[in-house]
Amino acid sequence: MSKHSCAAMVIRCIDFRIAPKNLSELLSEAGMCHDGDYDLVSVAGSGKDLLSENTTERDFILKQINISKKLHDIKTIYILMHDNCGAYAIPDAVEEHNIQVKDLKQVEQYLNSVLTDVEIKGFIVKGVPTGILSLESVY
């Protein structure tokens, strides 16, 4: 019987500068999840829409999470923000970082309030403007 579950879901920004192959390597190197062992959601600004006043935007991501939980029994959700993100459009890198950290913490709180049996982990992909990518753990 073929395996019909995976370890995690990754929610990332659509940004082409984070190439799927590079992201996969980063996640693998960090010991987070191996290639092919996660469901992937790409949405502009990553988890940003989970904090939207617009429930349609929020529900879109929640629906993907719930399907992933139900069908693939995921145990962890990785929310990956990134620097120089067009969905944030904040020119100052320090300010962008601070706002993304704050948002990631709010996303964690929100998801923990609506989901059970799943761990939320927040990261920022750094180095997107230079192409030398690294992962910063926020929680």
Q: Which helix (H) or strand (E) holds 119?
A: strand 119-126
Which whole-number Å values give the CA distances from 69 to 20, 25, 82, 133, in the listed order? 22, 24, 25, 29
DSSP state of 64: H
Min separation Cβ 117 and Zn ion, Å: 29
Considering beta carbons, is residue 15 or 108 the nearer one to Zn ion? 15
Whose tokens are 């939320």? That residue is 120
Q: Summarize as ranges the residues that interact with Zn ion (CB under 5 A).
A: 13, 15, 85, 87
Considering beta carbons, is residue 6 or 104 the nearer one to Zn ion? 104
Q: Which helix (H) or strand (E) holds 109?
A: helix 93-114
Min separation Cβ 62 and Zn ion, Å: 20
Considering beta carbons, is residue 72 or 82 the nearer one to Zn ion? 82
Q: Which of 84, 37, 39 is nearest to 61 (CA)?
A: 39
Considering beta carbons, is residue 7 or 87 the nearer one to Zn ion? 87
Min separation Cβ 65 and Zn ion, Å: 19
Min separation Cβ 3 and Zn ion, Å: 31
